[in-house]
Structure 1
Amino acid sequence: MSNLPRSQTSSSSRLSTMPSQKPRQLSHLQAQLAQLTANMADLESLMRMTAEQAQDMRGLGGYAGAMFMASSKVLGEETVKGGGSGAASSGAEGAREQDK
């Protein structure tokens, strides 16, 4: 239950039932409720922003996937046409042409 010794628990419960403590407790609870309401509004705003960013990330993922598929197709065609070495063999041939 509580970590307080029994004598402190009973005295604090007696204090809370005293009529002079009720307005102070109510004002404290009201302040806590106002803080909770403000925090919930902030959380709602952050959740809305996170949802929008998740949709944007999904779109970026689609673009990245399309880029990978396009580069795979281009690089795949070059290796088939070039006999496997692609850009490395064409670079070497260009260097030979300049030496002549």
Structure 2
Amino acid sequence: MPTEPLSQKDVEDRLAELPGWSLDGDRITRTYRLDSHFAATALVVHIAQTQEELDHHSDLTLGHHTVALAVHTHDADGAVTAKDFELARRVEELAAGHRAT
């Protein structure tokens, strides 16, 4: 059964609770900055573990000192859903533990 897309207002309301996250087209996005490439790589590994636990995966990009995510729900025709915000919330918790800004 497909996941239901959120309304534009629901997306905006939920984004207000996640500083640093924004809507970019049909995805919610965030880029984190870390102290080193190694630290960024460690965060990527932890995000990947969480994505496996949730069975919900983002576009995840590792940069020199950065980690970027773009999240939407494939089984909702690429719309933003509650699943995306659950992943974003979990990533925020991980990022704080890695001292990502």
TM bin (shorter chain): under 0.3
Question: By percentage of residues, which structure has more helix?
Answer: 1
**Structure with more relative contact order (C-alpha pairs < 8 Å, separation 6 or more):** 2
Q: With the length of structure 1 as denominator, give the TM-score of the two structures.
A: 0.22
Q: With the length of structure 2 as denominator, give the TM-score of the two structures.
A: 0.22
